[in-house]
Chain A
Amino acid sequence: MSALIDTPNLADHDGFYAELLAAHRCLDEKRSQALNAQLIMILANHIGDRRVLAEALALALRDIG
């Protein structure tokens, strides 16, 4: 059984997407990357489950890696 939720789970996803874009709006490339990197680590710590994180990595890597 999968530990990662890959079906809709976030109520206001459009709102979050807009918030993410807004956060990046005034940042140059380098700062944007820094923001993403920090965000990943903050969320990873919050999730706190290595299995979920491993599945998230695998999902993101699919078609990219």
Chain B
Amino acid sequence: MPHTRRPFPFMRPPGLDLPENRHGVLIVGAGPVGLAMALELANHDVSSIVLDDNNVVSAGSRAICWSKRSLEILDRIGVGERCLRKGVTWKVGRTYCRDEEVFSFDLLPEDGHKMPAFVNLQQYYVEEYLIEAARENPLVEMRFRNRVSGVVQSRDCVRAEIETPEGNYRLEADYLIACDGARSSIRESMGLDFAGELFEERFLIADVELKTEMPSERRFWFEPTFHSGQSALLHKQPDNIYRIDLQLGWGANPRRESRPENVIPRIERVVGHSDFRLDWVSVYTFQCRRLRDFVHGRVIFAGDSAHIVSPFGARGGNSGLQDVDALGWRLAAVLRSRSPRNILEDFDAERTFAADENLLNSSRATKFMTPTDGIERLLRDQVLALAAKAPFARAWVNSGRLSVPCVYPSEGADDGTMPALSRPGSVAPDAPVENGWLLNRLGGRMVVLALGCEMPRVDGANVFAPRVTDMLRHRYLGIATSAVYLIRPDQVIAARWPYPDPASVEKTISRLWRLGK
């Protein structure tokens, strides 16, 4: 069954009748990024209003592969376990060249993490869960069918002009976060340059409901016989819905290609029969672009409005949630007068760095999947030919390098004897602790993790000193006998020391909040 999209009610906003008091934060766009943003801010005791021009969740699966880090973020805002239960957990990916399998990979065969490497879940489910959580949260107000038609900012305030079915009104706020997607009208109205590359390639994406069960694997084909000269991707989703992405070539006419009479025969060739139902079809063009800066005074961009990548690699929705992760605690600190506004520069620096890493990976994968004629195609085809006979070349086959959180450049204290995977700038690796999980235990606060030593109290962080298990040792100690980790509210490791040094810890905490020396 195609997903039923129940419309959310339009409630007459008070601003239509009399001017509203100035708000803290307006969030434009009730997609996964905007909704997660509101819930993350609520976790930091900051209220917000989410404005969306629509009143239903997204049509079609769209962002389907949610990474481990996204699931951890969703867990912190209360919907991670639900996504995990409903989603299809997969870890095996198979890559075929023509009809031969050239290699397969198995993600995260390691235990001791609450969340798996990836789950597939249609974007509309994630939005539905987030909207439910948002509506139950007293700090989040949802306003559907409220379209922001203009944004003006002054030195100390941002003003949004809003259109509703019952008339227009205006809201003032300290900050406005534009989570209004790839075609962000706020970005456009501000005349911001969205620079990057457009690839001359189009893909058709479809959700189809099959009666037959197929394995929970990602399958990618280069030049399959069922889709001559092009590439194809197949993902399993809940409810027996399969997502198929088919390369069309640049010459294709998107409107003609999305007609069922043209789509159905192609899908018949992928699945090998016609016992399926077509639920949704869309066509997209590969693009890799980003804004130069994500913070523009009192208007902040997050998610697709700030950066877009080609989809193979699951770097769209996942990187948007990581923007939320890096922004929430800092913006909350500004709004609660804990930090000066320049703490937002740290968000901007980290997320533009991450966007560049995503853009680089994405544009490399795109070039591999859709080489131009001549030398690019020759080299690509020879990698595929080599992959069949030499193990090293299998790793060179690039059907999208799947999203992992980037390691932020960090000036935090480090100790070379400790494991590289938990170096400053990395997301703290999860591990079982005391009948639960480390990341749940860290929550969204500044925490000092003390392992194998007594840590005195410090100002500005809670000390957590679990019993050192083998997993904690492996992920946090390595050959060191003791360690002190300072972990930020977004669960990123800020610094680490081999022994307790409260003065250095407190100095680092002040630096993270951008307080004077």
Residues in B whose Cβ lies below 8 Å from that of A33 = 378
Cross-chain contact A37 with B382 (CB below 8 angstroms): yes
Q: A42 — which chain B residues lie within 8 A by C-beta?
A: 386, 390
B385/A38 in contact, CB under 8 A: yes
Q: Is A20 an interface residue (CB 8 A)?
A: no
Q: In the complex, are the beta carbons of B393 and A41 less than 8 A apart? A: yes
Tell yes or no: B250 within 8 A of A by CB. Answer: no
Complex formed: what's the CA distance from A51 to B417 in Å? 26
Min Cβ gap A57→B in Å is: 13
Question: What count of chain A residues pass the 8 Å CB interface test?
Answer: 7
CB distance from A7 to the nearest CB of B (A): 28
A36 to chain B, nearest CB (A): 9
In A29-49, the 8 Å CB interface with B consists of: 33-34, 37-38, 41-42, 45
A41 near B383 (CB under 8 angstroms)?
yes
**Bound: A38/B225 CA distance, A:** 24
Q: Considering the chains assembled together, what is the distance between the CA atoms of A27 and B231 in angstroms?
A: 29
Give the distance in Å from the alpha carbon of A42 to the alpha carbon of B382 in the complex: 11
Q: A-facing mask of B103-137, CB < 8 A → 1, else 0?
A: 00000000000000000000000000000000000
- Report the interface size for chain B: residues with CB under 8 A from the other chain: 11
Which residues of chain A come closer than 8 Å to B381, judged between CB atoms?
A: 34
Interface status of B195 (Cβ within 8 A of chain A):
no
* Contact call A37/B379, Cβ cutoff below 8 A: yes
Q: Is the CB of A34 within 8 A of B378?
A: yes
* B residues 385-420 in Cβ contact with A at 8 Å: 385-386, 390, 392-393, 396
- Does B396 contact A41, Cβ atoms closer than 8 Å? yes
B382 touching A38, Cβ below 8 Å: yes
Q: State in angstroms the CA–CA spacing of A59 and B194 once bound together.
A: 37
- State in angstroms the CA–CA spacing of A38 and B386 once bound together: 7
Chain B residue numbers with a CB within 8 Å of A38 are 382, 385-386
Q: Give the chain A neighbours of B392 by CB distance below 8 A.
A: 45
Chain A minimum-CB-distance residue to B389: A38
Contacts of A34 in B (CB 8 A): 378, 381-382, 385
* 0/1 interface trace, chain B 82-99, chain A, CB 8 Å (1 if under): 000000000000000000
Given the complex of chains A and B, what is the CA–CA distance between A33 and B393 in angstroms? 18
How many Å lie between the Cα of A37 and that of B390 in the bound state?
14
- Looking at the assembled complex, report how far the CB atom of B384 sits from the nearest CB atom of chain A, in whole angstroms: 11
Question: What residues of chain A lie closer than 8 Å to B378, measured between beta carbons?
Answer: 33-34, 37
Complexed CA–CA distance, A42 and B385 (Å): 12
Q: Roughly how many angstroms separate A45 CA and B382 CA in the complex, as a whole number?
A: 14
Q: Which residue of A lies closest to B383 (CB)?
A: A41
In the complex, what distance in Å separates the CA atom of A45 from the CA atom of B383? 12
CA distance A48 to B379 in the complex (A): 18
Chain A, range 1-50, C-beta contacts under 8 Å to B: 33-34, 37-38, 41-42, 45
Task: Give A37 to B378 CA distance when docked, in angstroms.
Answer: 8
Cα-based distance from A42 to B383 in the complex (angstroms): 10
Nearest B residue to A46 via CB reads B392
Q: Which residue of A lies closest to B391 (CB)?
A: A45
Query: Cβ of B396: which chain A residues have Cβ within 8 Å of it?
Result: 41
Q: How far is the CA of A37 from the CA of B381 in the complex (A)?
A: 9
| Distance of A26 from chain B, by nearest CB (Å) | 18
Residues of B with C-beta under 8 A to A37: 378-379, 382
CA–CA, A33 and B383, complex, Å: 13
**Bound-complex Cα distance A50 to B378 (A):** 22
Expressed in whole angstroms, the Cα–Cα distance for A37 and B393 within the complex equals 12
CA A41 – CA B393 in complex, angstroms?
Answer: 8
A23 to chain B, nearest CB (A): 15
Kindly state the separation between the CA atoms of A44 and B390 in the bound complex, as whole angstroms: 13
The distance from the CB of B240 to the nearest CB of chain A, in whole angstroms, is: 41
How far apart sit A9 and B299, CA to CA, in the bound complex (Å)?
A: 61
Nearest Cβ on chain B to A8's Cβ, whole angstroms: 28
Give every chain A residue within 8 A of B382 (Cβ-Cβ): 34, 37-38, 41
Docked CA distance A33–B378 (Å) = 8
Complex alpha-carbon distance, A64 and B417, angstroms: 46
Tell me which residues across on chain A come within 8 A of B386, comparing CB atoms: 38, 41-42
Complex Cα distance A45/B392, Å? 7
CA distance A38 to B393 in the complex (A): 10
- A sample of 5 cross-chain residue pairs with beta-carbon separation below 8 angstroms, ordered by A number, consists of A34-B385, A37-B379, A38-B382, A41-B382, A41-B383
Given contacts A34-B382, A41-B383, 13 further A-B contacts (CB under 8 A): A34-B378, A34-B385, A37-B379, A38-B382, A38-B385, A38-B386, A41-B386, A41-B393, A41-B396, A42-B386, A42-B390, A45-B392, A45-B393
